[in-house]
Structure 1
Amino acid sequence: MVVSYSRLRAVSACLILLLTSFLTNSCASFRTQDIPYVASAAADFDATHQQLDVYAPRKKQPAGQPVVVFIHGGNWNSGSKSQYGFIGRELARQGMVAVIVDYRLSPAVQVPAMAADCARAVQWTVAHIAEYGGDPNRIFLMGHSAGGGLAALLATDNTLFTQLGLPANPVRGAVLNDPAGLDMYDYLKKMQYPGDRQYLTSFGKNPEGWRQVSAMHHVTAASPPFLLFVGGQTYPSILHSSEAFRQRLQALGQKPGYTLQPGKNHIPMVLQLFWHNNIIYRQLRPFVGL
């Protein structure tokens, strides 16, 4: 295999830039990792998956910084918070307190249990984030792919929090990055793509269950504000459901942020969060009040 010098130079420059950014971000934040958010005495306690990491700005900040809880994607059956430390570090670098969440996955559990895990992670955040400099009254969600669908569900289904004993939904806004699963009721009824039956493992076979875990069927005029970012070359189902979700929000009188990023497919939509001044961070900062 022949590799040109110019290509090697370009790859080397990219690696140096990535390493420099990584080191800068690492120095700018302090990570507290593997914090359990479910009591070990709970019947469904999972020591591996029911954990979160907190990234706080290392530089002294005014008390009560906005908090961003990030929920990873992975087709509802894979993924880990350990893959997304770059997001936690960058959010902390920009003056936010970041919470990166793990949750149980399929086939061990189905989506309702995943949503319940994420809600309990937010409940932990409400109770403890002030210890890390965050404001429990300014909690925002961010999620990519399946995590975007879960973030949208938490923002719109208030019962996920009232059943935990919280008086109200603590989510103040949600950032959906190429979200999957916004309307699984519509998606699974159609079964129009090859391999769609795989999702019955995560979502079950009951159409009413599909509706229950779809943010499209919970959103109201009182739901918190949304920012949506969608890749121009992402999966057709994500393009369709994101546009339908935007239209539903608009019909309810909301004015969601909506950015279609030409040329981007699904994975680069989350990888762009490595870069300090990408469009998502530029819109996120004023969204959370910075």
Structure 2
Amino acid sequence: MIFRFLLLPAGLLLLLLLFGANELAVARPSRRTADLAYVPASDPAFDTERHRLDVYAPRAQAAAPRPVVLFIHGGSWTSGSKDFYSFIGRRLAKQGVVAVIINYRLAPDVLVPAMADDCARATAWVVQHIADYGGDPQRLYLMGHSAGGGLAALLATDDALFARHGLAQNPVRGTLLDDPAGLDMYDYLKKMQYPGDEQYLIPFGKDPAVWKAMAPQYHVTAASPPFVIFVGGQTYPSISYSSERFRQRLRELGHAPHFTVLPGKKHVPMVLQLYWQHNIIYRELLKMVGA
């Protein structure tokens, strides 16, 4: 294996070594606590892999509890893992934030309502336990990319998701959406205008009432927490369209979001750019959370 590694082109080998060294440098200021179960093992629905989260906390002591950011990954509601996004946890921790990266169940094993419930249960766990890791449960923010952005927006706008888990009020203080998908699957699935759209019936099912119930577009109110929204200039047309409609709805309700289109960015690079600590998305996120 080492021999094969040394046969890599010199430029690529140097790049990998630099990335590796950078990851070590970023990891040092943070402390990762991995694979914490946010659903009790005694729960009949407990999934030993998907009902887990990782906490990334700064090693440095702070005079007061730190803001908390919970990140929800994307993957078309059928794939993805918290393990792919450790770089986000490390970079947030390095910048004074307690970061939580979660798994949730995926289709075809469950539909999106169960995924939303998983994310709500993970958030409720954070409210109850994050003080043990130096985080402030009163300063809890969400961040999500793609399908994870849609789920984050749903949690921020649908208080009923938390009421069923004993929280009298929505604990989310603000949400950053990174090229979000699923803001209005009711509209999207009624149209079925793009090739392959039938694939989304696997996570969303065939009931239009479910599509609407899972669409943040119809839950957002004037009382919803602030939003920061980033959209790629070359992302999928459906994401551009639904993000703009969500923005317009927020403006109608009296609290226009911070909305930025990043020229030239496609969908996947919108999350990969978070490898760089001083990326514009981190800068706006840190302003929102007050880190």
Please classify the TM superposition score into its range, dividing by the shorter chain length.
Answer: over 0.9
Shift of 1:24: 1.2
Q: What are the superposed Cα offsets for residues 160-192 of structure 1, whole Å, 9 maximum, x if unpaired?
A: 001111010000000000000000000000000
Q: What are the superposed Cα offsets for residues 119-145 of structure 1, whole Å, 9 maximum, x if unpaired?
A: 000000000000000000000000000
Q: Aligned residue for 1:101?
A: 102
Q: Aligned residue for 1:77?
A: 78
Q: Aligned residue for 2:216?
A: 215
Q: Distance in 2 between matches of 1:219 and 1:67?
A: 22
Q: Aligned residue for 2:134?
A: 133
Letter paired with 2:214: V
Shift of 1:42: 1.1
Runs of 4+ in 1 over 6 A off after TM superposition: none
Aligned-pair identity (%): 62
Aligned partner of residue 122 in structure 2, secondary structure: helix
Q: Distance in 1 between matches of 2:261 and 2:15?
A: 26
Q: Is 1:253 the equivalent of 2:254?
A: yes
Matches within 5 A, 1:226-237: 226-237=227-238
Aligned partner of residue 28 in structure 2, secondary structure: helix
Q: What are the superposed Cα offsets for residues 95-132 of structure 1, whole Å, 9 maximum, x if unpaired?
A: 00000000000000000000000000000000000000
Q: Distance in 1 between matches of 2:113 and 2:251?
A: 27
Shift of 1:9: 5.9
Q: Aligned residue for 2:202?
A: 201
Aligned partner of residue 62 in structure 1, secondary structure: coil
Letter paired with 2:112: V
Q: Aligned residue for 1:28?
A: 29
Q: Distance in 2 between matches of 1:199 and 1:160?
A: 22
Q: Distance in 2 between matches of 1:10 and 1:153?
A: 44
Q: Aligned residue for 1:5?
A: none
Q: What are the superposed Cα offsets for residues 44-93 of structure 1, whole Å, 9 maximum, x if unpaired?
A: 11111000000000122233100000000001000000000000000000
Letter paired with 2:220: V
Q: Distance in 2 between matches of 1:50 and 1:266?
A: 26
Aligned partner of residue 266 in structure 1, secondary structure: coil
Q: Distance in 1 between matches of 2:14 and 2:188?
A: 43
Aligned partner of residue 74 in structure 1, secondary structure: coil
Q: Aligned residue for 2:175?
A: 174
Shift of 1:242: 0.6
Q: Aligned residue for 2:288?
A: 287
Q: Aligned residue for 1:66?
A: 67
Q: Aligned residue for 2:125?
A: 124
Q: Is 1:159 the equivalent of 2:157?
A: no
Matches within 5 A, 1:6-45: 10-45=11-46
Aligned partner of residue 88 in structure 1, secondary structure: helix
Q: Distance in 2 between matches of 1:271 and 1:62?
A: 33
Q: Aligned residue for 2:89?
A: 88
Q: Distance in 2 between matches of 1:15 and 1:280?
A: 24
Q: Distance in 2 between matches of 1:277 and 1:261?
A: 15
Q: What are the superposed Cα offsets for residues 225-262 of structure 1, whole Å, 9 maximum, x if unpaired?
A: 00001100111100110111111100110120111000
Q: Distance in 1 between matches of 2:63 and 2:246?
A: 36
Deviates more, 1:115-124 or 1:58-67: 58-67
Q: Distance in 2 between matches of 1:118 and 1:256?
A: 23
Letter paired with 2:97: M
Shift of 1:14: 3.4
Q: Distance in 1 between matches of 2:142 and 2:67?
A: 11
Unpaired segments ≥5 residues, structure 1: 1-7
Q: Aligned residue for 2:3?
A: none
TM-score with structure 2 length normalisation?
0.95
Q: Distance in 1 between matches of 2:63 and 2:245?
A: 39
Q: Distance in 1 between matches of 2:21 and 2:132?
A: 30
Deviates more, 1:90-99 or 1:18-27: 18-27
Aligned partner of residue 234 in structure 1, secondary structure: coil
Q: What are the superposed Cα offsets for residues 13-55 of structure 1, whole Å, 9 maximum, x if unpaired?
A: 5334322321111101000000000011112111110000000
Q: Distance in 2 between matches of 1:61 and 1:289?
A: 14
